[in-house]
Structure 1
């Protein structure tokens, strides 16, 4: 019966999106960002692509682990799963000898009619520690017990680890597990769309207590298109430009390559004295630079572009504005998300006829 109630609760929870969003919690504090590499080192060979840590009282810790954010819906109410385990096996746990050895329990639940699978393992404490109580030497337990619950449903799987000082303390932790886990997941979904979290190749979160939440989200890579129009002054002539660029935003790489094409229009007179537009074109390649931002977004990412460094080569030439084999080096600075200033240097051949230029452009 307990198992049926747990499955019903998990099913009801899994259809709510955003997760547990109806709870009215105080706004979390996101002052510090989670260091993903340091987080992984704390739990070597344990974490998966989506992993969350909840700091409980007295050094107890809860971990929620899955390959995707959506899979964590299977364990979004870890208190129910832990409660089910305790209801079935508390008589066994309470009869365990009170020694300093660690206990590891693996508990596997399936969505079919299979019985839960259970494995127990005892492992001795490495270095003995002692204290004095009532003038008697008492050996201290310094290793934590581990409750590892795996939830399988169809082709999805999620896990939770309860790292407890003593498995006998489970009843004292149930309310705390529910409240703190709900707060962490709700806070994350207030900050980042669950769809983005689910598409991200890596997501890590932590609840440290006292509304302190840490989050790092390695969102999926994306291709950013940058159409722009501009006005420039080059070699004593005014010109307008039309740019079309594309930047490959690689989430986990500091290098964001960009390619593009710039069409330039110079206006002058032809041999008959009439008005004529002279078109010149450059192919471009280089790097784009971004920074994290709480105010701006590109796609669904909280980033803004700060600048760009490109090298261009003349592929279309009309008029006498450029010599054959002309190169261009541009270092652009984004003044706002839409306004950019771009100092440039033009030359042909091996740095011949070096000429500065300047452009202002607006766009995406």
Structure 2
């Protein structure tokens, strides 16, 4: 087996495979929080585009499992025994290591590159380029459940899983982890060691730490939604603009409460064939419901289920609405900037009822 591995490494050197991975932090990428477990994250740069990322809910979890070098030693020894050297070396490997109370499991997933890439230099042979990194994900599972927990995991995002042995031989990662934990303890503005807070910490090769979005894990936040649209109301096409101010109690709840303002513009021809505009404005209040991402405990506020609202007129011109008009509405479809409203207008409660529909574009 050892001879076979040496031959494989020699063949790889002859083929000339190199790694081409753009530098940059992983946790700030689009939808990164959906890929990594935990409400808080510590990302540590290890050099040569290799990265350690820890996802957790509570700071105490990191303190309890900060001896990551011991886990690396277990993985390196186990991976030597099961490594499939016949696989294409440009494939990305995702290794999932589940640590139980009495045993450990490992699952390997191979992802081929979408295209074969080469690099050319004058006077040299073409070099095949590996464009995707390998990942080692470490999860601690209980004896009663083998499910991957959503509150703590360790990730190594590396050019090759073989780099993990080199990282160990260069001193490991425990010291860098301790430096990151010290930065958390010494943070001046909040007690980030408290379970009430969540944060993202980025630690560079110079061991300097940068904090992003530190704050209460369950803090409420405001969301502003302006937009324009056109609707069919009382057998007329009616342009409109609107804006809503929504408060979300916290990102763990799939509900938001909003107040808003809608201005509708009606156009009518006069006796001398002139076109006259009438404006009718409503204020409204309502509630929105959102979905959760699969495998996530937090709501995804881009995945809208429905909204319901009730409105009253605050400005009227023309004979389109009475002062006692009540508007009942709902957003029955929303896809990013596009939304469809169904509305019912009535004079008082269910008197002179007429329906309307409005198509809007906005945030």
- When normalised by structure 1's length, the TM-score is 0.45
Q: Who wins on radius of gyration, i.e. which is larger?
A: 1
Relative to its length, the structure with more helix (as a share) is: 1
